[in-house]
Structure 1
Amino acid sequence: MCADTTETVSYKDTLNLPRTDFPMRAGLPKREPGWLERWARIGVYQKLREKARAETREPFTLHDGPPYANGHLHIGHALNKTIKDMIVRSHQMMGFDARYIPGWDCHGLPIEWKIEEKYRQKGRDKDAVDIVEFRQECREFAAGWVDIQREEFKRLGVTGNWENPYLTMDFHAERVIAEEFQKFLMTGTLYQGSKPVMWSPVEKTALAEAEVEYHDHVSHTIWVKFPIVAVNGSEELVRELTGGDASKSGAVAQELGSDFANTNVVIWTTTPWTIPQNRAVCYGPKIGYGLYRVTEAAQDNWAKTGEKYLMADALAESIFAQARVEAYERVRDVTPLMLDALTMKHPLRGVPGGEGEWDYDVPMLPGDHVTDDAGTGFVHTAPSHGDDDYQIGVKFDLPMTYNVLEDGSYRADLPLFGGKRILKPNGKEGDANKAVIDVLASGNLLMARGKLTHSYPHSWRSKAPLIFRNTPQWFAAIDKPVGDGQDMHGKTIRERALTEIDNVKWTPQSGRNRLHSMMEARPDWVLSRQRAWGVPLTCFTKNGTRPDDAEFLLRNEEVNARILEAFEAEGADAWYKDGAKERFLSGIVNSDDYTQVMDILDVWFDSGSTHAFTLRDREDGTEDGIADVYMEGTDQHRGWFHSSLLQSVGTTGRAPYRQVVTHGFTLDEKGMKMSKSVGNTIVPEEVIKQYGADILRLWVAQTDFTVDQRIGPEILKGVADSYRRLRNTMRFMLGSLADFSDADRTDPADMPELERWVLHRLSELDEVVRDGYAKFDFQGVFQAIFTFATLDLSAFYFDIRKDALYCDGDTARRRAARTVLDILFHRLTTWLAPILVFTCEEIWLERYPGDDSSVHLVDIPETPADWRDAALAEKWSTVRRVRRVVTGALEVERTNKVIGSSLEAAPTVFVGADVAEVLGTVSFDDMCITSDIAVSTEDAPAGAFTIEDVEGIAVSFAKADGEKCQRCWKILPDVGTHAHPGVCGRCDDALG
């Protein structure tokens, strides 16, 4: 008996519609803190360690490069810590014991400055404060910022041992830093030398290259006359000029004397303040030089008519133009042997008021560092104020000068310039340059002057310009054989470092090349700083000895042990307490014979030593004291990566890391560097308030962090859109899995092909995800998952199986689909958990809401090998290719308002026989979400729909025949012929 099809019945309540409390709107900013509290309450990080011990997992350790404890986090911090967290979480979920001990760099100048600033505001003199009291204030300041930054890092969702981080100011850490320094002392690589180093007159301390940044700076430029006072021809020069005829030597000497009479060698410099320290002039042996005479110049010009100058031929035109010379002539060639014969006087010699200070001759010396790219081809050489200059000074035994004091002023008794300052205390230019220029100008010793904007070294802390200044400093010799009796991959620190660089895996590989070239060219390591807040150089010098004497440094293991014992109990403050010298030396040596060194260590030595007191000494460190990975920004090739390698090879002979991963800098949406003054900064806290931390984390995952990344409002909107699409995919799964249990589970072997194709894709994707996480390719991982979720699942599998999930009764097809959804749930939540830490926890708790439940306590499920089915994948690739043409044809009809839904269609698809055979084995109407579909191997009619890049497939549209099922909405001929009114046979069976 047939039902009456005219009756309209509501079957909505009979459908298996998705049921879930998982909201469409995430509300992350308000909800994320609750999950953080939950993780702390149930002790997720501690539970993972317990699980690892129980399962004897292989350890994986990322060693944290310590941020500086002196301010709120910026977007670079957020990027850095999020990448680290993704590395740790993904390796944990792939079966490792992934440990993460966060750390902080607590010593150094920025913190001192903050305390000094507080003193200045109170009118208090820092030098009048007891040093131990001052250091205690620094310690308290750093501790306060550690607490603030710890909470800011945790808000990003970063997991780790937050209750017990490492701090460079912990007593044990200070003890180990001193111990590592003592190894340099005992192996003979430590020495005191007097050489020019990067010096901050504002901060009154030496700086390492890693503490230097380069900014545009306007410098004075001067072209200075060095008058020639003697021509001392060598036998070699005479032979060159006479062709070996000794009888002509007198005439040649007379000719040279005449040519070079009243002649100036002209030099160019951007540091006029260094002229009083000049000791030589250098020329380039491979450069062409000429003797030039001014033939026409204005009467008031500094370069006078008739004056002669020596200069590089390639630069003569530009020099005379700068000097406003109207005409000049080239008198003769000048060879290197001629230059060797010249002696000049110091330009300040004979200047009124300077008598006695500069009454010396200046030699002409060869120097390979001299070029004719700019300047004059001659280089003014002050060994106390430049590395090239210093090397020339050592080679030719030139005197060092000590005219410039620690605050950048000339010594008070320096004639003409005493007390003049290169820089003022605020970092602005002082009066030294002008004073030198004025004296030179008054003595007719300038050829020209000007100004130049160029890249110049500045302190990364004070932002003030630096100078090169000769001071006694403590160095680690990197080219001296280490006196420990071991080869350890090379006898010197440099050799060891260069060898170890090639034993490390670099991501990206360019990091290897960068650090290698730096290590090849770097000078000795300047270890000392003239400040108060840090770990001191725990050594003593013997009174009455010179730095090159064997007894200059006290090397005594018993003394060292006393110092370390005190530091372990009291911290490095023990070095500064009254009677410290006697405490450490008495009973071992006569303390009156020694002077205690009061400099502190370069903070890069502190952070470079963190592997020793974190990886080596802690229970949650590593057995061999080596980290699996270091991960920091690209600037750390000259910073932490660099100093850690130097420090470690100097004491152990090996690198402290197996892998080094580098990220780029964060720029605004236009690719510009972020700056508060420009107003283009992105503050993590503000992003979290607006979107939540998961959106910030997703931005990190969507970028290629190995290069510079961009972030801004529009980019974050795009990230949020991707998040919403992914969230909706997960919501559909949750809704469709309501009440799913093991009783509903289907074995893969019994599943329809479509479900087995999904499992095949999961097998492929599992390999991509694991490989990507292992290589730290989070962009590749997320893109693969997102593409799968949006194209393979939402736009294909879910779209097709909605009908079976909603409308089927307890069918094998529906059970198989729900089984696959359960498998998808466990894969997607664990794959994405290292990235979307909060959202995946929310999704997980929707199904597993227990008190101790957390997605972060489980691993990525293993994927059975038999899910992989290449032949099936090839078949379904054909099905999807044909489906694409069908859906394209239906979209045209929908756009033209011919149909409103694809279920109103019953098209015919024209394909070849091989494709028809494939389509005949699947329910192709279900695949295309049509009420019916015909497959034909005949020629397609004219006007049939095709897609240009899909050959051999055409579609002819037709409407479906029959009535619309009131339950599933398919249009079928049998609707209305069953017991339940207005439904098709499938729905009638489902209704029972």
Structure 2
Amino acid sequence: MCADMPDYKDTLNLPQTDFPMRAGLPKREPDWLARWEKIGVYDKLRDKAADGREPFTLHDGPPYANGHLHIGHALNKILKDMVVRSQQMMGRDARYIPGWDCHGLPIEWKIEEKYRQKGKDKDDVPVIEFRQECRDFANGWVDIQREEFKRLGITGTWDNPYLTMNYRAERIIAEEFQKFLMNGTLYQGSKPVMWSPVEKTALAEAEVEYHDKESFTVWVKFSVAEFEYSDDAKEYGEDANENEFFSHHAKLLLEKAFVVIWTTTPWTLPSNKAVVYGEDISYGLYRVDHSPVDNWAKQGEHYILADKLAGDVLSRARLEKGDYTRVSGVSHHELARMKLAHPLANCSGSNGEWDDTRDFRAADFVTDEEGTGFVHCAPSHGMEEYELYRDLGMLSEVITYNVEDDGKFRDNLPFFGGKYILSRKGGEGDANKAVIEKLVEVGGLLARGKIKHSYPHSWRSKAPIIYRNTPQWFAAIDRKIGDGQDTYGTTIRERALNSIDQLVTWTPQTGRNRLYSMIEARPDWVLSRQRAWGVPMTCFIKKGALPTDDDFLLRDGAVNQRILDAFEAEGADAWYADGAKERFLGNDHNPDDYNQIFDILDVWFDSGSTHAFVLRDREDGSADGLADLYLEGTDQHRGWFHSSMLQSCGTQGRAPYRGVLTHGFTLDAKGNKMSKSLGNTVAPEKVVQQYGADILRLWVAQSDYTADLRIGDEILKGVADSYRRLRNTMRFMLGSLAQFSEADRMDPADMPELERWVLHRLAELDQTVRDGYTKYDFQGVFQAIFNFATLDLSAFYFDVRKDVLYCDGDTDRRRAARTVLDILFHRLTTWLAPVLVFTTEEIWLERYPGEDSSIHLTDIPETPADWRDKDLAAKWATIRKVRRVVTGALEIERREKTIGASLEAAPIVYVDTETAAVLATVSFDDLCITSGIHVSTDATPDDAFTLDGADGIGVKFAAAKGEKCQRCWKILPDVGTHAHTAVCARCDAALG
């Protein structure tokens, strides 16, 4: 600018705002947290319930109080917070009561570890003292995790959460258990359950995870001990010669044949009681013709094997194809006539432990996909075998008790007494090796090896588990309940399956299929745990009575009430106090006649019961005891969703929730599972320290949570870039709205078309946002808002209207633009508030800085339906299409340095007559940010610029004619002809 040229900068309406470009979220977010706590935002929202708002309750699945938060916790809680905030801002009374799981083995295990480090034995510590240490440990982590969750911007009743170890909660958990006791679904049974020898307790499916494990594999020979043969030729056919053949065949089988089994658990062989075969499998008799020296497969021996698997089995026994011969087939008639001998039968020193013949029969779970076509059965250690012999009424004949709670063989078991299946740290014990060596010694082994396979482990101790028969307490899920709550069925399973389809909405729908199939096939629920830190199973059993006797369990309402009253006042520790049995039985029952049960409830029963003491028991719960939403990771189909469903169906006849939302797992940037050992974990605390919690929240909103989510430095940098673009959009609005007042507001009906088009887009987007939030589609909501803010607003509307906002005086079109900006401000801030809780608060307070002001006390404004104008939208779609061709043509000129800015251009636009008529109704040069524009209906020249997808539109560049206005920078012919000689007519009027 020349020295004598006027400087009009101070005459422009430039944006005015203190809203910084740089967010500084890590340092500034804690101040907003403190402010919300000071003004009591959550409580103020609850006060709005007096306006008759419809309640919405998201019931929090309790995290475990035993460590710092991981990124999965952050994902889960942020999703919940976005649900609660969006529902609240759409007019609901959205309640969120955070809670914690405080009982159970993980905490107990931590206290035991502390004892072990001190050389202290847990069993030497009084149980109430031990439980208090567990309680203190949980309390400490609740306090830590509470602050970590609050730092993520999560709203809720942080000063009054629910804890499963609170006295009131323990009382209600016991009360829920007593309902199973009283309605007849509780029973004691002895069956194989998943058992952790390291932790000495039964486990539920949800407490098990699968990892690769190397196991011993053995091929074991069971000799044919008996063969019942009938002289009736009809058994085999009319041909006497055929009968004669079978007579010879039977003798051969009896004298020399072995049935070969394969197992990956050699330690179960001392508990073997049977072998089973498949009715649809083809079997053959194989003779060893040649055998290497010292081979376990001896020349002349005969083996019965599934034909499909025989070659593989015999190769494992170090036999080549020419070393054996298939003598004949073996029919199922013949198999059915056999009894087998255990490999250790009649073994010196066995004290007759394995001398009885083994049962041999068909079973439908036998296949010829792997192994030998035969399955050895130890019903004490396998559920399929257990169920087979249960249905046959033969359990008393096949159940053993060879394995103790620590995974050790009973001391008086011949050869193997005192041997451990697992070491004390969960590694390989000495039991498998001892069994294999004994089989070698007695000639019972055909082959051995090792296999790496997926194997169940305790997710707490990370040690392998076993199946072990042990007396446990179960909830019968197929037993009819006569409590009158039969809308969804009369058994727990019926009620659960019907609730899934008739009561619950699933997001995504695949969650329905997963839970349905699990409940459809699941066995009875194992309720008991052999631990100390939890809610005890508050029941008594009659001495001398059998579990099948009617008076085995004491069912007395007065006894139950005394227990509940004590728990309410003293917590569950009351069960362990001296004289507890006498106190609870009172004068109604002789304490000498009853045993008190000291097993504790499965911790999943605790968390499954939370609906009872959160939804039903609290004033801020749910009026009908139903949650509108349960929201957890996909693993909770076998965890909390599952246990809550079973528990509630057992006590109130239906599911405890109307809706279930499932999210995926968190993975590293490469899609790998996070692991401390791999060093690829992403700690929420570090993300917050580096970027701020809003960036972490935005990562959640931008992601498809229905699948597994990736996170890493590059991903977070991309999220931060999206955040910056949004922040700049909001900053422009704040600056342009400086000193805006109601006197500046213009009625939409009087606005120019461009503003009315923006209002149309707002009306469309308002419906998209509301529908998306209703469906919990946060990714869809954010993407729609982001595209609108960056493409429709920043790249188009703001770009076009900057000239009016900066350079116009008090004109109608400037007032219209500012009115639209104010409308945009209120919608964008409220739409984004459930996601960017800190940033939208900062934006809001820039305009409304009152002491009690907060965006989170504001609802999403209602958007008038009459703002929608489809005809106007169609017209502006045409205008924007032509504009894209113009800006494309000018961009080429800018790159070639023909022009420095679009205002130096006055291009010629070639369109058809219909489009020309549309463009004639608007200031198309202003829309294209050029100083002039000429619209022509002539044929498009061959050298005109065109764009794919914009047929019939061409643009030729032409330079603008005239002088540059020193105020608005347009190049116009009239510059120099006004009172203010360096400006155009519009700017001259603005200057006055």
* TM-score exceeds 0.5: yes
Residue type of the alignment partner of 2:19: F
Residue 744 of structure 2 contacts residue 819 of structure 2 at CA under 8 Å; is this kept in 1? Answer: yes
Kindly state the Cα deviation for residue 335 of structure 1 after the two structures are TM-superposed.
Answer: 1.7
In structure 2, C-alpha distance between the alignment counterparts of 1:864 and 1:714, rounded to whole Å? 41
1:726 is paired with a residue whose SS is: helix
- What is the match of residue 428 of structure 1? 427
In structure 1, C-alpha distance between the alignment counterparts of 2:2 and 2:645, rounded to whole Å? 82
Cα distance per residue 1:260-313 (max 9 Å; x no partner)? 421100000000000000000010111111111112221221111211101111
Kindly state the Cα deviation for residue 234 of structure 1 after the two structures are TM-superposed.
Answer: 5.7
Kindly state the Cα deviation for residue 479 of structure 1 after the two structures are TM-superposed.
Answer: 1.1
Kindly state the Cα deviation for residue 259 of structure 1 after the two structures are TM-superposed.
Answer: 4.1
Residue type of the alignment partner of 2:679: G
User: Per the alignment, do residues 781 and 353 of structure 1 end up closer, same or farther by CA in structure 2, a change over 3 Å counting?
Assistant: same
In structure 1, C-alpha distance between the alignment counterparts of 2:83 and 2:521, rounded to whole Å? 33
- What is the match of residue 225 of structure 1? 221
Determine whether 1:63 maps to 2:59: yes
Determine whether 1:21 maps to 2:18: yes
Cα distance per residue 1:566-596 (max 9 Å; x no partner)? 1111110010000000000021111110000
What is the 5 A alignment of 1:765-784? 765-784=765-784
Residue 44 of structure 1 contacts residue 857 of structure 1 at CA under 8 Å; is this kept in 2? Answer: yes
- What is the match of residue 306 of structure 1? 300
Residue 60 of structure 2 contacts residue 98 of structure 2 at CA under 8 Å; is this kept in 1? Answer: yes
Kindly state the Cα deviation for residue 244 of structure 1 after the two structures are TM-superposed.
Answer: 8.0
Kindly state the Cα deviation for residue 6 of structure 1 after the two structures are TM-superposed.
Answer: 10
- What is the match of residue 175 of structure 1? 171
1:915 is paired with a residue whose SS is: helix
Kindly state the Cα deviation for residue 5 of structure 1 after the two structures are TM-superposed.
Answer: 11
What is the 5 A alignment of 1:599-678? 599-678=599-678
Determine whether 1:275 maps to 2:269: yes
User: Per the alignment, do residues 668 and 486 of structure 1 end up closer, same or farther by CA in structure 2, a change over 3 Å counting?
Assistant: closer
Kindly state the Cα deviation for residue 177 of structure 1 after the two structures are TM-superposed.
Answer: 0.4
Cα distance per residue 1:846-878 (max 9 Å; x no partner)? 000000000000000000011000000000000
Determine whether 1:287 maps to 2:289: no
Cα distance per residue 1:825-862 (max 9 Å; x no partner)? 00000000000000000000000000000000000000
Residue type of the alignment partner of 2:437: D
Residue 931 of structure 1 contacts residue 971 of structure 1 at CA under 8 Å; is this kept in 2? Answer: yes
2:953 is paired with a residue whose SS is: strand
In structure 1, C-alpha distance between the alignment counterparts of 2:286 and 2:366, rounded to whole Å? 20
In structure 1, C-alpha distance between the alignment counterparts of 2:376 and 2:766, rounded to whole Å? 65
Kindly state the Cα deviation for residue 337 of structure 1 after the two structures are TM-superposed.
Answer: 1.6
- What is the match of residue 455 of structure 1? 454
Residue 7 of structure 1 contacts residue 981 of structure 1 at CA under 8 Å; is this kept in 2? Answer: no
- What is the match of residue 488 of structure 2? 489
User: Per the alignment, do residues 6 and 105 of structure 1 end up closer, same or farther by CA in structure 2, a change over 3 Å counting?
Assistant: closer
Determine whether 1:558 maps to 2:555: no
Kindly state the Cα deviation for residue 251 of structure 1 after the two structures are TM-superposed.
Answer: 6.4
Q: 1:150 aligns with which of 146, 150, 164?
A: 146
Residue 378 of structure 2 contacts residue 398 of structure 2 at CA under 8 Å; is this kept in 1? Answer: no
In structure 1, C-alpha distance between the alignment counterparts of 2:974 and 2:336, rounded to whole Å? 110
In structure 2, C-alpha distance between the alignment counterparts of 1:948 and 1:491, rounded to whole Å? 65
Kindly state the Cα deviation for residue 128 of structure 1 after the two structures are TM-superposed.
Answer: 1.3
2:286 is paired with a residue whose SS is: strand
Residue type of the alignment partner of 1:671: G
Kindly state the Cα deviation for residue 320 of structure 1 after the two structures are TM-superposed.
Answer: 1.1
User: Per the alignment, do residues 238 and 517 of structure 1 end up closer, same or farther by CA in structure 2, a change over 3 Å counting?
Assistant: farther
Residue 66 of structure 1 contacts residue 105 of structure 1 at CA under 8 Å; is this kept in 2? Answer: yes
Q: CA RMSD in A?
A: 1.3
Runs of 4+ in 1 over 4 A off after TM superposition: 4-7, 247-251
| Identity rate, percent | 71
1:707 is paired with a residue whose SS is: coil
Residue type of the alignment partner of 1:855: I
2:43 is paired with a residue whose SS is: helix
User: Per the alignment, do residues 949 and 486 of structure 1 end up closer, same or farther by CA in structure 2, a change over 3 Å counting?
Assistant: closer
Determine whether 1:242 maps to 2:237: yes
- What is the match of residue 335 of structure 1? 331
Q: 2:130 aligns with which of 110, 134, 138?
A: 134
Residue 385 of structure 1 contacts residue 469 of structure 1 at CA under 8 Å; is this kept in 2? Answer: yes
Cα distance per residue 1:414-451 (max 9 Å; x no partner)? 11001000011100110000000000011111110000
Moved more, 414-423 or 328-337: 328-337
Determine whether 1:372 maps to 2:368: yes
Determine whether 1:88 maps to 2:87: no
Determine whether 1:567 maps to 2:562: no
Kindly state the Cα deviation for residue 394 of structure 1 after the two structures are TM-superposed.
Answer: 1.5
Residue 285 of structure 1 contacts residue 366 of structure 1 at CA under 8 Å; is this kept in 2? Answer: yes
What is the 5 A alignment of 1:782-931? 782-931=782-931
In structure 2, C-alpha distance between the alignment counterparts of 1:738 and 1:316, rounded to whole Å? 87
Kindly state the Cα deviation for residue 464 of structure 1 after the two structures are TM-superposed.
Answer: 0.1
Kindly state the Cα deviation for residue 118 of structure 1 after the two structures are TM-superposed.
Answer: 1.7
User: Per the alignment, do residues 485 and 838 of structure 1 end up closer, same or farther by CA in structure 2, a change over 3 Å counting?
Assistant: closer
In structure 2, C-alpha distance between the alignment counterparts of 1:243 and 1:670, rounded to whole Å? 70
Residue type of the alignment partner of 2:176: E
What is the 5 A alignment of 1:342-353? 342-353=338-349
1:286 is paired with a residue whose SS is: coil
Residue 70 of structure 1 contacts residue 145 of structure 1 at CA under 8 Å; is this kept in 2? Answer: yes
In structure 2, C-alpha distance between the alignment counterparts of 1:932 and 1:985, rounded to whole Å? 15
- What is the match of residue 208 of structure 1? 204
1:281 is paired with a residue whose SS is: strand
In structure 1, C-alpha distance between the alignment counterparts of 2:846 and 2:161, rounded to whole Å? 33
- What is the match of residue 542 of structure 2? 542
User: Per the alignment, do residues 488 and 539 of structure 1 end up closer, same or farther by CA in structure 2, a change over 3 Å counting?
Assistant: farther
Residue 5 of structure 1 contacts residue 981 of structure 1 at CA under 8 Å; is this kept in 2? Answer: no
In structure 2, C-alpha distance between the alignment counterparts of 1:244 and 1:749, rounded to whole Å? 104
Residue 559 of structure 2 contacts residue 586 of structure 2 at CA under 8 Å; is this kept in 1? Answer: no
In structure 1, C-alpha distance between the alignment counterparts of 2:184 and 2:328, rounded to whole Å? 53
1:644 is paired with a residue whose SS is: helix
* Contiguous gaps of at least 5 residues in structure 1: none
Residue 224 of structure 2 contacts residue 253 of structure 2 at CA under 8 Å; is this kept in 1? Answer: no
Residue 9 of structure 1 contacts residue 981 of structure 1 at CA under 8 Å; is this kept in 2? Answer: no
In structure 1, C-alpha distance between the alignment counterparts of 2:233 and 2:80, rounded to whole Å? 70
- What is the match of residue 101 of structure 1? 97
In structure 1, C-alpha distance between the alignment counterparts of 2:799 and 2:281, rounded to whole Å? 76
Residue 636 of structure 2 contacts residue 642 of structure 2 at CA under 8 Å; is this kept in 1? Answer: yes
Residue 60 of structure 1 contacts residue 98 of structure 1 at CA under 8 Å; is this kept in 2? Answer: yes
What is the 5 A alignment of 1:952-967? 952-967=952-967
In structure 2, C-alpha distance between the alignment counterparts of 1:5 and 1:37, rounded to whole Å? 53
In structure 2, C-alpha distance between the alignment counterparts of 1:647 and 1:255, rounded to whole Å? 57
In structure 2, C-alpha distance between the alignment counterparts of 1:393 and 1:471, rounded to whole Å? 16
Residue type of the alignment partner of 1:169: M
Kindly state the Cα deviation for residue 249 of structure 1 after the two structures are TM-superposed.
Answer: 5.5
- What is the match of residue 935 of structure 2? 935
Residue type of the alignment partner of 2:723: Y
Residue 234 of structure 1 contacts residue 341 of structure 1 at CA under 8 Å; is this kept in 2? Answer: no
TM-score for the superposition, normalised by structure 2? 0.98
Kindly state the Cα deviation for residue 391 of structure 1 after the two structures are TM-superposed.
Answer: 1.1
In structure 2, C-alpha distance between the alignment counterparts of 1:778 and 1:129, rounded to whole Å? 51
User: Per the alignment, do residues 191 and 5 of structure 1 end up closer, same or farther by CA in structure 2, a change over 3 Å counting?
Assistant: closer
Residue 386 of structure 1 contacts residue 468 of structure 1 at CA under 8 Å; is this kept in 2? Answer: yes
